[in-house]
Homo-oligomer: A and B are copies of this chain.
Amino acid sequence: MSFDLLIEKIREKNNPTVMGLDPVLDYIPAQIKKRALAEYSDDFKAAGEAIFEFNKGLIDAAAEYIPAVKPQSAFYEMYGIDGLIALEKTIAYAKAAGLYVILDVKRNDIGSTAEAYARAYLGETELFGSSKAATPVDCVTVNPYLGIDGVKPFVDICNERDKGIFILVKTSNKSSGDFQDLTVGDKPLYRHVADKVNEWGSGSISNGYSCCGAVVGATYPSQLAELREALPNTFFLIPGYGAQGGTAKDIACAFDRHRLGAIVNSSRGLMCAYQKAGDDGRNFKACTRDAVIEMRDDINAEIGG
């Protein structure tokens, strides 16, 4: 139920981190792009092929050490249908490698439309007398601005099918305070969202955590500590480590005494490890593997893993 599968994989790898897969073409090693361009004359097709090849290499390099991957939908939608085909292939490849897949889509809408999104990614689509999964992942991110109508269809499918969602509470970006920090009564808006996340997930607690997780940025460590206290049964997805400035010290407070309760994302830091190492891209897999291990050890050193 809920995040049991993620928790199992975190324990198995002794690693509470997730590799973001945000495939900007600039991140992809030259030799992969060259091969894709030789094979496809259509630029979008070549981009889709290069993205999938790169993702395969990243997954091959990391799968032994990491419990999960988090593809960011924007960076696939940006390449049209060919990008979305690369996303589907990446999801299937990651699942086959035993990884938990969090699809970062931040979807949100009125009830009937939210249900269509929930079915698309966590459930099944009704077709002609049967139903099939369109783009099956383990977990998606959800934006709460429309209230419970937009979240309940996801929660219902989570409960039916042992899936999870991470709801945006306090995001990692600089302007997250524009609305999230506005004071409502005696506390900021993000705390009201947190209270609702707590309420919405209350019927689905397993292994100490409900199916409604929360996105809380590593870039706001005091809010992270405050939210950990307020939400003892909420699993956190923590972006903002590494390239965005968050450190292992900043996020240590998000974990419980079993070193669970949070998963920390790094995208560029792992995908572009070869660039940082001064490699020309021929050894990107080894560089990513080293960076995955380094991140794991960095965080485990702080949380006693």
Which A residues are closer than 8 A to B by beta carbons? 22, 24-25, 33, 37, 43-44, 46-47, 72, 74-75, 77-81, 83-85, 88, 106-111, 113-114, 116-117, 119-121, 125-128, 130, 132, 134-135, 143-150, 168, 171-180, 182-185, 189, 192-193, 196, 239
Contacts and interface: CB of A to CB of B under 8 A. Distances in A.
5 contacts: A77-B117, A78-B120, A146-B175, A147-B177, A183-B184
A84 B79 CA distance: 13
Nearest to A244: B110
A74 B147 contact: no
Contact of A173 (B72, B120, B125, B146): B146
A128 B184 contact: no
A143 to B, nearest CB: 5
B81 A111 contact: no
A24 B125 CA distance: 10
Given A81-B81, A128-B43, A173-B146, A108 B109 contact: no
Given A78-B117, A150-B173, A150-B175, 11 more contacts: A37-B128, A43-B128, A75-B113, A77-B117, A79-B125, A81-B84, A144-B145, A145-B145, A146-B168, A179-B189, A184-B189
Given A74-B120, A113-B22, A80 B135 contact: yes
A147 B175 contact: yes
A173 B110 contact: yes
A239 B112 CA distance: 13
Contacts of A128: 25, 33, 37, 43, 46-47
A44 B134 contact: yes
Given A85-B81, A110-B172, A128-B25, A179 B192 contact: yes
A227 to B, nearest CB: 16
Contact of A134 (B83, B106, B147, B180): B83
Given A47-B127, A84-B81, A113-B75, A143 B175 contact: no
A176 B74 contact: no
A113 B149 contact: no
A110 B171 contact: yes
Nearest to A146: B171
A50 to B, nearest CB: 9
A51 B46 CA distance: 28
A188 to B, nearest CB: 10
A88 B176 CA distance: 32
Contacts of A168: 145-146
